[in-house]
Structure 1
């Protein structure tokens, strides 16, 4: 199947090239003036006896070139142009003829500027003065290529390799602007140029990264941080720079408090949803709305290196402007803008070596495995019988066990024999996980970007290729992604600017399949990957165990080729009037998303007898093609009015309109009977079973919005937001709703009575907000009766007839879920803002949640209808503390910073259609995530102890329920001498009580950074302070043979199993099925085996070195940086005291790619809170470089 990828990759590259040509050539041609091609511009123009200055002005406008000249020089030329006409003529030819009769000459200066000047005779050169100087960075290193411009003269130069520059200027006083890529520009005023004299100025530029902390991206605009009244947080691109991550969700985890990103597993294709401030809705759910440059997009498809900043709007007041789409917060991703003043070319590369953070260690001795299997199986059957098979693939007997022991004692005996029946018999010691995984895999990341500006036009073009090889030893998964972005703008008129932002992304992923049991490879290894069976028979064929498990991968025929392609183009305009007090903006976006999955399943051959081939997967041998296409259109038009009404008052009003439409279409076709295993055409499947399916969906959201900001003397701040929203997902009488919000701030430190020195308390602001938003996240046609039309499974008259199922009952009065948030916050700056603190506390109430109604009698004849039946209350807080300072080290400044973040939340159901408060469903008063279970009182010590203890009538220790010493004893909480769960209600739970909660509490992050000379260092730790995890019934990597007696045996269990000689062991008497069977005693949530899954992880650490400018400029570069980055290199958890077989971040359900959770699925009891059967989380070390030209 991997051969298919080659063709798809070639097609993808061709598409990328076409996309690049279409969207990058126009802005690149406009900006070509930068590269010295400005004179090659061809235009049509005529002059009829015009003055020279008017002719030059017309020529400048027509050619779109930028001219620099002293108007007085041209005005002194009193002659006219005469009659001149040019057709498709070069600009330099036109200038030569236009200026031929004058003493004025022209030349090209830096960045394509054409300078007009009158040569000065040597006797008059002393009439002009010079402005000289040096441009350096904050460390004193020279900055070559910095732009120095005299504003009044439109005259400029660039600094040389030593950072020095020299400009001539007539006598006068000027403003000089000095700028450099990635540094804050500096404007120097009052610079005097004296006749025949030189003035020296030196400028040290500061890095521009800090400016992101002053201006924050908010809905439809930006605001100064000091003026924010809502709960908004932001990080810059630094957190994603030069990190070997496949997408930004992996890179953002933990950096922003209460932006909750939980990885589903370690597969590179995974893109977990972004949650803001915890549980949002138990009905339709609700994740953060993610906007890329103002338009909804998939964050996993964006190039991390294109990102300039990420803002998070947390409270209703901040997100209200986005209405129903932003009910539970908004994440705003802003991509990089073109470089100003100069062209920049940047290339970066890194190569990563990745390996699993946790590889399970199992018992790999065949005899020990068989002996413990025999014990576990026999004990579950009350020792009344012994096993005859190890599940499906290996026959078993007590004689076979004895032979295993003999061969274990004599390792020179063969591991495979053929018995008298002509069947293979195995005596192996196979580590199936080493057969499954390689020790490591590789990933590489290439990035290239071009950026520049010519004053009236600018452009940014970038591309990325990321390639991560798979971890499996055979038929491994393989991930590739391509990104291309072309972004440009053009100043058409002094008041009108047009922009275009196009991006294309393509992701391909091959996911191998395991057809033996139809489940994931991890579950199949647990069931059939028996230690005693080898991978291959002596004749090279697969063994029965291998064919069910890793051998399927080795055979290399089964898998899914996944291709995801997204093309998006946004065209926008912006205008300004009345000295920029009135601004109108608009944009239109088209986005097409295609997802193609090609799946092949064929039978896997194996041998149980020499020369006899059999097959696993008798229900397979099919080909399936699935296509899902979504077309998304979005239009925004809005205006801002920001009048100047005196120094004491500030007013800004924004109002606009938004329209979004999405259309989804899906098609699936499957046919069996492949005539050969490598078939790629479904016409080569000739079986009688053909299955087709599909889907179609469309929704529209439309709304008007506004925002009003008012400030008085920078002390009293008020913001009003609102949106009137309409959604096609609701019936006509409930389609529209209005969602307002208000927020206010008081900058106490600006009050006249505030006498505390700014060197101690630099800034103090308190904030508060209140607002409501609607959640329109429901299926598009919930309010309509929908008939399900399918083919019947029965054959009548030789065909399968169509059948139609009756629609579900519709609820009355279906309306919006409403999220109302109250927020209070404080921002504090101390010690000249070297120490800063920001904290927020909030209460969010989600009402009218869309859930299943009350349980109805069976005679009702249909499922209970869904409706607005439930309410939820979430409370929480978040805080961040930052310190930035410097000191001298070896007489050089050492800059360092520390940032600590922490957040917490809890959610409680306040209304639910469960008046009896049954424990198998949500109920009013329930804390979301709570775990009900028993209190473990240790193990039974003797028969007398069993007889004198409360009866465990519901929970079985074996097939017959017979209790023996070493079995688990539960505490009799209600004192009725019986261990049970009562009526399974809150008021009558029997002996159950709340023993824990799966909600991650006290999430935190620790960021460290430092730079000295040309060295830089950064590290980030992320963790969870409190979280409970009870291993699910299928958590074979935890329970081992307690799950099923033929499962793998975790090595940590050895020495931890109860026996008369080991009565204080952690685990009970050895038996199978007691964690898998719903009546088994380990299946029951209980205190003894409830795990503390809190953790701390070194998420990333990076060391970089920037080569000296004086060195890199010798080879034509502006900068070069070398770096080494580590990801997930270290972690600690209380769980690791017991076992390190499981990664503490990877405890969720099995294989979220091939087995995603069902929509609306839930587990209120947490009886299956995770099994860890997942693709491993990966750690990595990468090396790379970044070069700027």
Structure 2
């Protein structure tokens, strides 16, 4: 048995957020008879995240307090009351969030309860013949609540006014229950006869999962410190939702080995899912792999001192997918009943006999032929151990053809009047590799053994669209030949260095200068410090043409938003009771064009009233005295609004958010046994550990975490990742 308790406070100084978690694990094995073995493996996880302010967590607060909050504004008045508006302009102070946080009532809690228990029975039917059956039950429960509250502010002493943004007293409760059952029954057999070894395994798999949600809310509670729906006196709402799905499959595996030299494996799965209609629910997915241990051949004897092991291998196989993936960052339908027409319900704004009318809309078009996607992979690999087992090399190269991807069937004009039905209409080809290098050795230092190891892993892949119904190859949709993740934008040929140069530029930049053209007076004119867009097609104007591959105007490929060349480095060493380990990981390249609300990058070019301006930002702004600045002449909203020159993706401001991060460093010392046993402790180890200690990135901002872009584009507005240093003690009794 093992367990843990964990607690961590957030970084807010007032009404801080807090995370707590509890885990319990147990594993029991019992050999009841020589032919019967049973086991249970159970894990329980419970967490609680309590936060103040806006619904969803503290990260929402970090976004909101940057808006409408010039640094000259104070969150409190001299008498301690919150501020919201100075009446000096039209903008509120932090959209009222400071008043909300200082009130200290608004906030919520996110709770997670997770259980997985697996019971297994193993029967020994005969020599080398076993039967195994297991059942796994798990559930995932979320139990969340959120309390909004009425916040007040003052402009004059003694006169409190309700903040318009936060004028609702309401409690929301959400309960989410996801139980899952998995049953596996399989039998395995192996036998060695002479120089031959064979083994086989076959079985069945059944999975079912349900989802249920119950949510309710109540307004105008009788207490600000107690949170219960029964305390509400105002409007009460309730809603819910549910779905379920099932999977059933049969599988087999057969292996053959001759003298440990020639290896062969054949696999197959017949899978069925409830997500598709009758006749299309099942798919068969086979695979075969073979290996040759060249180092075991007689002709390799002379090289065995240098190359201790050498194996080449190859495989070819298909896997099925029944859940919709993301295709060019556009998720397909996530419905668990995509083959059934759904008739959405809604409430009319018309009132009849004191009630709002309910109505049902016509269903969106569906495709009756939905079935499994197939991913067929061809792989070739090599494993080698050299120099007396000190150097290990493993390499895999593969080509994966994913066919029948669930995507909108074809690109249709908006006059179609409905969403394009999802079909098995897309194909992608992916080429990639993975390389692992490892070195381990030991020698004596001061008469004591010193051992160390270093490993490096790097992988990369690139995907191209090989089928998609987009005959015009519009750039806003996938098209045949497209590299997944490619980014298009304009080319910048520097900045105008004088008003005369700007006025003499004959190219029409209206499309990317609408924000400038709406400015008053001379600020509407192109002038020194403005960006100079390149007219790549020579037609005298900057535009995207027909936005197709054949006519893309002045657009060009400026990057790719998919991560390229993921890598990791692991180092370890030990000597005389001391041990050391370090892990670093990163991405060599991933492009990102800052979004319109990327305030940590654009600063006042996005919203002039942001509360945060990067340090030394003035040195990056173009002025006649600073003609080689990174940013153009300062114009507000040019990064925020469509038609602003910085809002238009271009090659000057596209960023590489690749990074190298030192994720973990541990230094430990194991107390000598002769000392620890004096206090009846067989083993004791003390250590100090550091997390996220150093980060290098070519991203041109030290206020945005590059790792935050590994999952999604958030404009860099994320709760900061902690740099943590901890010390610990491990004792074995």
TM-score normalized by structure 1?
A: 0.58
Structure 1 distance, partners of 2:642, 2:289, is 52
Q: CA deviation at 1:785?
A: 1.3
Matched, 1:1014 2:577: yes
Matched, 1:686 2:233: yes
SS of the residue corresponding to residue 619 of structure 2 reads: coil
Matches within 5 A, 1:503-902: 503-514=43-54, 520-544=60-84, 545=93, 548-579=96-127, 581-616=128-163, 617-618=165-166, 620-646=168-194, 648-688=195-235, 690-778=236-324, 779-902=335-458
Matched, 1:1124 2:681: no
Higher RCO (Cα < 8 Å, 6 or more apart): 1
Question: Relative to 1, partners in 2 of residues 1:830 and 1:515: Cα closer, same or farther, differing over 3 Å?
Answer: closer
Structure 2 distance, partners of 1:942, 1:928, is 41
Structure 1 distance, partners of 2:98, 2:632, is 32
Structure 2 distance, partners of 1:515, 1:594, is 19
Higher helix share: 1
Matched, 1:1109 2:673: yes
Contact 1:1093 1:1134 in 2 (8 A): yes
Any idea what the Cα deviations from partners look like across 1:87-122, whole Å, max 9, x if unmatched? xxxxxxxxxxxxxxxxxxxxxxxxxxxxxxxxxxxx
SS of the residue corresponding to residue 366 of structure 2 reads: coil
Matched, 1:1033 2:628: no
Any idea what the Cα deviations from partners look like across 1:53-102, whole Å, max 9, x if unmatched? xxxxxxxxxxxxxxxxxxxxxxxxxxxxxxxxxxxxxxxxxxxxxxxxxx
Q: CA deviation at 1:628?
A: 0.8
Contact 2:99 2:152 in 1 (8 A): no
Tell me which residue corresponds to 1:1185: 729
Question: Relative to 1, partners in 2 of residues 1:493 and 1:657: Cα closer, same or farther, differing over 3 Å?
Answer: same
Matched, 1:1144 2:706: yes
Any idea what the Cα deviations from partners look like across 1:651-674, whole Å, max 9, x if unmatched? 110111110111111111123223
Structure 2 distance, partners of 1:894, 1:618, is 63
Contact 1:573 1:586 in 2 (8 A): yes
Structure 2 distance, partners of 1:650, 1:1105, is 46
Structure 1 distance, partners of 2:98, 2:385, is 58
Question: Relative to 1, partners in 2 of residues 1:511 and 1:907: Cα closer, same or farther, differing over 3 Å?
Answer: farther
Structure 1 distance, partners of 2:37, 2:455, is 39
Q: CA deviation at 1:678?
A: 2.7
Q: CA deviation at 1:464?
A: 1.1
Unpaired runs of 5+ residues, structure 1, are 1-460, 1150-1156, 1158-1168
1:1069 to 625, 633, 657: 633
Question: Relative to 1, partners in 2 of residues 1:849 and 1:620: Cα closer, same or farther, differing over 3 Å?
Answer: farther
Structure 1 distance, partners of 2:631, 2:392, is 49
SS of the residue corresponding to residue 768 of structure 1 reads: strand
SS of the residue corresponding to residue 66 of structure 2 reads: helix
Contact 1:547 1:606 in 2 (8 A): no
Tell me which residue corresponds to 2:568: 1005
Matches within 5 A, 1:223-262: none
Q: CA deviation at 1:519?
A: 9.1
Unpaired runs of 5+ residues, structure 2, are 85-92, 325-334
Contact 1:517 1:524 in 2 (8 A): no
Any idea what the Cα deviations from partners look like across 1:839-859, whole Å, max 9, x if unmatched? 001111111111123243555
Structure 2 distance, partners of 1:909, 1:980, is 26
Structure 1 distance, partners of 2:270, 2:129, is 23
Q: CA deviation at 1:475?
A: 1.8
TM-score normalized by structure 2?
A: 0.93
Structure 2 distance, partners of 1:1052, 1:819, is 50
Q: CA deviation at 1:551?
A: 4.1
Q: CA deviation at 1:802?
A: 2.1
Structure 2 distance, partners of 1:517, 1:642, is 54
SS of the residue corresponding to residue 1112 of structure 1 reads: helix
Tell me which residue corresponds to 2:556: 993
Tell me which residue corresponds to 1:1092: 656
Contact 2:151 2:167 in 1 (8 A): no
Q: CA deviation at 1:684?
A: 2.1
Q: CA deviation at 1:693?
A: 2.0
Any idea what the Cα deviations from partners look like across 1:654-701, whole Å, max 9, x if unmatched? 11111011111111112322333234121222223x332211111110
Any idea what the Cα deviations from partners look like across 1:984-1003, whole Å, max 9, x if unmatched? 11111111100111111111
Structure 1 distance, partners of 2:259, 2:148, is 71
SS of the residue corresponding to residue 498 of structure 1 reads: strand
Question: Relative to 1, partners in 2 of residues 1:1071 and 1:1000: Cα closer, same or farther, differing over 3 Å?
Answer: same
Larger radius of gyration: 1
Structure 2 distance, partners of 1:583, 1:518, is 52
SS of the residue corresponding to residue 19 of structure 2 reads: strand
Q: CA deviation at 1:1148?
A: 7.0
Question: Relative to 1, partners in 2 of residues 1:1067 and 1:858: Cα closer, same or farther, differing over 3 Å?
Answer: closer
Structure 1 distance, partners of 2:355, 2:230, is 21
Contact 1:768 1:825 in 2 (8 A): yes
Contact 1:521 1:550 in 2 (8 A): no
Contact 2:175 2:213 in 1 (8 A): yes
Structure 2 distance, partners of 1:841, 1:793, is 59
SS of the residue corresponding to residue 101 of structure 2 reads: helix
Contact 1:940 1:967 in 2 (8 A): yes
Structure 1 distance, partners of 2:56, 2:254, is 62
| Aligned positions, number | 706
Q: CA deviation at 1:872?
A: 1.1
SS of the residue corresponding to residue 299 of structure 2 reads: coil
Contact 2:186 2:202 in 1 (8 A): yes
Any idea what the Cα deviations from partners look like across 1:1090-1113, whole Å, max 9, x if unmatched? 122222111111100000111111
Q: CA deviation at 1:516?
A: 14
Contact 1:1148 1:1172 in 2 (8 A): no
Tell me which residue corresponds to 1:967: 530
